Amino acid sequence: MLDSQNILTVSQLTSQIKKSLEDGFSDIIVTGELSNFKAHVSGHWYFSMKDSGASVSCTMWKGMNSYVFFTPQDGMNITAHGRITVYPPRGQYQLEVRSMRPAGIGELQQAFELLKKKLSAEGLFDAAHKKDIPSFPVKIGVITAPDGAAMQDLRSVAARRYPVAELVLAPSKVQGAGAAENISACIEALNRRDDIDVIIIARGGGSIEDLWAFNEEIVARSIYASRIPVITGIGHEIDFTIADFTADLRAATPTAAMEIATPDRNDLFAFIGDFSYNSTQRIMDIRLRMLNKIKTALNSYGFRMPLDIIKHRNQLTDHLYYKISRGIEKIIMLKEKEVLRSAGIIRIHDVQHTLKRGFVLVKQNSGYVKRARDLDTEAEILLKFSDNEVLVNK
């Protein structure tokens, strides 16, 4: 028969298990494959860790996951440090993670290759999207740690090569938790200005973990979206990051990035000197060539015998004047003859001229009588002579 004093409620049982587990597994380190990763809108992370034989649910609160320097991805092998807790409403235990890191360099390299493949397929690395770097920038935006060696190198190179350029620093974390978000925010901040000609993102060398912020997707997409050309100078010559592939131009080091962004004043002075010398020589050559042309012209027949040319032109002018005058006179004579001929024709057909020759016009009933049969002998008749008119009554 059961002893009622030993009967536990579900809550009591769960409470005892919770105390036992949490006391016994309060500080543990677990390694396994990450799966079902979800970043909740609250900022908390929920995921599982598994191996070939088991799986455990995991949580990582917002205050803790802000210190993780990489973005977890399903399939990565990680090492997590934390404690076991029990969630009483479901009676389930879970690993509450306080910190995590990749289980090895190979995991980060795998994540790097996966993201590189994804962004490449989207066209973020295409040459068609690369913007030209300005030859003579006035203001250069710099994204780096303000107290780092990279910033000192950038200032030194700019002062030596192109001191007229102004460096506009957008201070940023370049390593550790939150660095990727910080770099992305700096890119966007510089793009909101209208006076930045080119952006340099720089950091000194380091391990793959140290440089991981530049392998984050958020940084790559901010670089791709930048309307201002971006040059990356991250790590050493052998170091390649996702940011390098996305940038408009990649430099091997921060120093090389500034050398790419700025012209060398010594080269400019040499160019100006060569230009000045070549321009002077060209002007002298042109002057000498024009002087020779003038001398040739002055020694030519035209300049040696100017009066002959003037006389020839006068004679030609007189000839043309005579020719034009004769042409005009001929036209006038022809027109006069036409006028006289037309006047004669008009005179011959003039009625008054006909009347003077002894002819008479007979007018009756407001009209002229042209035929005998048209004459009305009973009506008045008006006879029109050259000198007068006579009315004849019936």
Domain membership flag for residue 293: no
Domain membership flag for residue 128: no
In terms of domains, do 340 and 362 share one?
Answer: no
In terms of domains, do 84 and 155 share one?
Answer: no
In terms of domains, do 371 and 336 share one?
Answer: no
Q: Is the pLDDT of residue 249 over 90?
A: yes
Domain membership flag for residue 140: yes
Domain membership flag for residue 63: yes
Single-letter amino acid, residue 254: P
Domain membership flag for residue 206: yes
Predicted confidence at residue 307, as pLDDT, reads 65
Structural domain for 335, as ranges: 302-347
Distances from the Cα of 262 to the Cα of 233, 244, 259, angstroms: 14, 19, 5
In terms of domains, do 382 and 328 share one?
Answer: no
Residue finishing a domain among 347, 368, 383: 347
Predicted confidence at residue 139, as pLDDT, reads 94
| Structure tokens, 59 | 């949580």
Distances from the Cα of 117 to the Cα of 21, 235, 252, angstroms: 43, 22, 22
In terms of domains, do 144 and 55 share one?
Answer: no
In terms of domains, do 35 and 154 share one?
Answer: no
Query: How does pLDDT run across 123-133, given as a tens digit for each residue?
Result: 999 999 999 99
In terms of domains, do 245 and 313 share one?
Answer: no
d(CA 133, CA 284) in angstroms, rounded, equals: 37
Residue finishing a domain among 236, 263, 290: 263
Domain membership flag for residue 165: yes
Beta carbons of 258 and 249 less than 8 angstroms apart: no
CA 195 to chain centre: 16
Mean pLDDT of 350-364: 75
In terms of domains, do 203 and 312 share one?
Answer: no
Predicted confidence at residue 380, as pLDDT, reads 80
d(CA 117, CA 57) in angstroms, rounded, equals: 29
Count of structural domains within the chain: 4
Predicted confidence at residue 2, as pLDDT, reads 55
In terms of domains, do 60 and 147 share one?
Answer: no
In which region does residue 176 sit, left (phi positive, over 0), alpha (psi from -120 to 50) or beta (all else)?
left
Residue finishing a domain among 207, 238, 263: 263
Single-letter amino acid, residue 124: L
Domain membership flag for residue 273: no
Domain membership flag for residue 378: yes
Query: How does pLDDT run across 288-325, given as a tens digit for each residue?
Result: 888 888 888 777 766 666 666 777 778 888 888 888 88
In this prediction the pTM is 0.56
In terms of domains, do 315 and 361 share one?
Answer: no
What phi, psi does 78 have (nearest 5°)? -125, 160
In terms of domains, do 182 and 243 share one?
Answer: yes
In terms of domains, do 216 and 309 share one?
Answer: no
CATH, residue 157:
3.40.50.10550
Task: Determine how β-strand 367-368 pairs with β-strand 361-364.
Answer: antiparallel
